[in-house]
Amino acid sequence: MSVSASVSSLVLFREKQELIDKMLEMQKRFIEHEHQHGVTGKDYWASSEGLLANYRQEYMDMANRVVDIAHEIVGSSRN
């Protein structure tokens, strides 16, 4: 592996870990919110304000990026 490929992999590993850390923090906040206020299906799927307003989309975007990074690191593809 060349030096530039090694550096690139390190950057990707760091980005992946940062995303995973953010996702874990989001899960923690969601669980706290759920315990304090309860969460209905409508809250989860259609909330337009507060913690859940963009929760699903943000989480899904981060999860997809983590998968893309993992494939990029090992040189594979999702297809």
Q: Give residue-wise pLDDT tens across range 62-73.
A: 999 999 999 999
**CB < 8 Å & 24+ apart, contacts of 59-62:** 59/23, 59/26, 62/19, 62/22, 62/23, 62/26
Residues 8-34, mean pLDDT to the nearest whole number: 96
> Considering the entire predicted model, what is its pTM?
0.84
Over its C-alpha atoms, the chain yields an Rg (Å, rounded) of: 16
Q: Which residues 6+ apart lie within 8 Å of 49 measured at CB? A: none
DSSP state letter for 47: -
Q: How far is CA 17 from the centre of its chain?
A: 10
